[in-house]
């Protein structure tokens, strides 16, 4: 068993392995806004439970499309540019939640329900 633990440690101590693991750990260790968004969607925006399910469905379909795009076009691209650009794009798109909270989408003429579907 000690040889297996040694081999596991040898694999994990490589920068290509531990750096993404640390990033994913830190990303998942940050506080989540799930419950807050639920109350914002239901109390402030008055979304029904059916529409909340629709938002989840649209998010899942977009995830499947992302998997297809990755498989079709990005699987031969090196990890570093994909990691960089996906982090940058994800950060910018994550900031759109502030637009929803401050009601900027309404000022721009975008209804809440369309904005939330696009945001997911």
> CA–CA separation, 118 vs 101, rounded Å?
15
What are the pLDDT digits (tens) for 26-69? 878 877 777 888 899 999 999 999 999 999 999 899 989 988 99
H helical segments located in 1-120: 2-12, 15-29, 34-39, 49-69, 79-94, 96-101, 104-107, 112-119
| Rounded percentage of the chain residues whose pLDDT exceeds 90 | 39
Predicted confidence (pLDDT) at residue 18 exceeds the cutoff of 90: no
Report pLDDT for 120. Answer: 63
Q: Do residues 107 and 48 touch, judged by C-beta distance below 8 A?
A: no
Q: Is the pTM of this model over 0.85?
A: no
> CA–CA separation, 51 vs 59, rounded Å?
12
Mean predicted lDDT score pLDDT of the chain: 88
- Mean pLDDT check: name the lowest of 6-20, 28-42, 55-69, 92-106: 28-42
What are the pLDDT digits (tens) for 43-53? 999 999 999 99
For tokens 């076009």, what's the residue?
Answer: 73
């Amino acid at each position: 068993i000690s040889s297996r633990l040694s081999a596991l440690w040898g694999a994990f101590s490589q920068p290509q392995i531990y750096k993404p693991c640390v990033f994913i750990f830190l990303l998942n260790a940050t506080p989540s806004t799930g419950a807050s968004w639920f109350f914002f969607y239901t109390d402030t925006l008055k979304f029904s439970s059916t529409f909340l399910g629709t938002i989840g469905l649209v998010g899942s379909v977009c995830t499947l499309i992302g998997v297809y795009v990755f498989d079709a076009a990005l699987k031969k691209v090196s990890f570093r540019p994909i990691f960089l650009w996906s982090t940058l794009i994800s950060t910018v798109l994550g900031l759109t939640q502030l637009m929803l909270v401050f009601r900027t989408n309404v000022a721009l003429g975008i209804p809440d329900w369309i904005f939330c579907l696009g945001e997911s």
